């Protein structure tokens, strides 16, 4: 009878990493009419009224800080924005939301223009739930300034700070680091591209390095609430805010009188 020997365990064989908890970034490439696009670019220049920064010369001009925050109510943009909001509903449905159990509100919508050398610093939109950006120009190269989305958590880094480089120990040039410890994702603007992402996600716009073109985009913020309540006793979700039509404004002067 042949002598058998138990096979020794082979260290590390068979281990696989499972990716969990994905971040939902929605993208759709639209095909804007060139004439509409030209008119919208011209309209944004008019809305800028000669201003070209925020006001720090290194910071892009953003309409929300310059009184231009309801672009959806401008007839030159209203059809475009309505189309973008249809994709926002699609984003929510793909995320699992029941369209009949929420109301979606456009809170504000503003143009952003970044000139050569300008950026939009790292920030998020804590006032909203879902944010979007639509690019009016860009060729996909990223030279006019990528949208940089920062990782909301870096649990795979194991020891915070290890993935920043400076000689390791994580091999930042390797594919594993890109897959499991990327500190950010850079998304290049392209004319007609719509991007949707959770409003709490930290992001920035990198420097426009295109000496021949300004970078034009439209940003917007959306808020989810309960649907309108037809009867006072109807239930609303605990964590979902009631519909704004059910809110009661509290005048500041009344507070002062009672205080
Ligand atoms: Fe933003």
Using the mean position of ligand 1's atoms as its centre, give its distance from the Cα of residue 145 in Å: 14
Supply the DSSP symbol for 110.
E
> In this predicted model, what pLDDT tens digit does every residue of 149-203 receive, in sequence order?
999 988 999 988 887 767 778 887 889 988 999 889 999 999 999 999 999 999 9
Using the mean position of ligand 1's atoms as its centre, give its distance from the Cα of residue 124 in Å: 6
> In this predicted model, what pLDDT tens digit does every residue of 17-35 receive, in sequence order?
999 999 999 999 999 999 9
| CA atoms of 133 and 113, how far apart (whole Å) | 12
pTM above 0.75, yes or no: yes
Using the mean position of ligand 1's atoms as its centre, give its distance from the Cα of residue 121 in Å: 9
Using the mean position of ligand 1's atoms as its centre, give its distance from the Cα of residue 167 in Å: 32
Whether 193 contacts 138, CB under 8 Å = yes
| CA atoms of 248 and 46, how far apart (whole Å) | 37
Using the mean position of ligand 1's atoms as its centre, give its distance from the Cα of residue 144 in Å: 16
Beta bridge partners of 134: 194, 218
Q: Which of 72, 184, 87, 187 is nearest to 138 (CA)?
A: 187
Using the mean position of ligand 1's atoms as its centre, give its distance from the Cα of residue 120 in Å: 8
Predicted confidence (pLDDT) at residue 223 exceeds the cutoff of 90: yes
Using the mean position of ligand 1's atoms as its centre, give its distance from the Cα of residue 5 in Å: 63
Using the mean position of ligand 1's atoms as its centre, give its distance from the Cα of residue 163 in Å: 25
Using the mean position of ligand 1's atoms as its centre, give its distance from the Cα of residue 186 in Å: 14
Confidence of residue 238 (pLDDT cuts 50, 70, 90): confident
Using the mean position of ligand 1's atoms as its centre, give its distance from the Cα of residue 18 in Å: 31
Confidence of residue 236 (pLDDT cuts 50, 70, 90): confident
Residue 100 has phi, psi (to 5 degrees) of -80, -10
Using the mean position of ligand 1's atoms as its centre, give its distance from the Cα of residue 168 in Å: 32
Domains of the chain and any CATH numbers: 26-152+167-228 (2.60.120.620)
Token output for 128? 């909203």
């Amino acid at each position: 009878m042949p002598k058998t020997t138990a096979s020794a365990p082979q260290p590390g064989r068979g281990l696989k990493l499972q990716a969990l908890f994905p971040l939902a970034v929605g993208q759709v490439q639209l095909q804007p009419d060139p004439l509409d696009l030209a008119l919208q670019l011209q309209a944004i220049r008019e809305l800028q009224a000669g201003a070209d920064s925020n006001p720090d010369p290194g910071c892009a001009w953003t309409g929300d800080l310059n009184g231009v925050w309801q672009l959806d109510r401008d007839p030159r943009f209203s059809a475009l924005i309505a189309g973008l909001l249809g994709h926002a509903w699609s984003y929510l449905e793909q995320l699992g939301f029941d369209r009949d159990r929420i109301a979606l509100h456009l809170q504000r919508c503003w143009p952003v223009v970044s000139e050569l050398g300008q950026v939009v610093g790292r920030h998020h939109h804590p006032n909203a739930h879902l944010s979007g950006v639509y690019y009016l120009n860009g060729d996909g190269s990223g030279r006019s300034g990528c949208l940089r989305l920062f990782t909301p958590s870096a649990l795979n880094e194991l020891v915070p700070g290890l993935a920043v480089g400076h000689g390791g120990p994580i091999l930042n040039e390797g594919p594993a680091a890109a897959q499991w410890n990327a500190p950010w994702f850079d998304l290049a603007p392209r004319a007609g591209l719509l991007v949707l992402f959770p409003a709490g996600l930290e992001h920035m716009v990198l420097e426009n390095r295109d000496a021949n073109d300004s970078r034009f985009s439209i940003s917007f913020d959306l808020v989810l609430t309960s649907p309108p309540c037809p009867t006072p006793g109807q239930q609303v979700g605990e964590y979902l805010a009631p519909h704004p039509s059910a809110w009661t404004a509290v005048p500041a002067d009344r507070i002062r009188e009672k205080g």
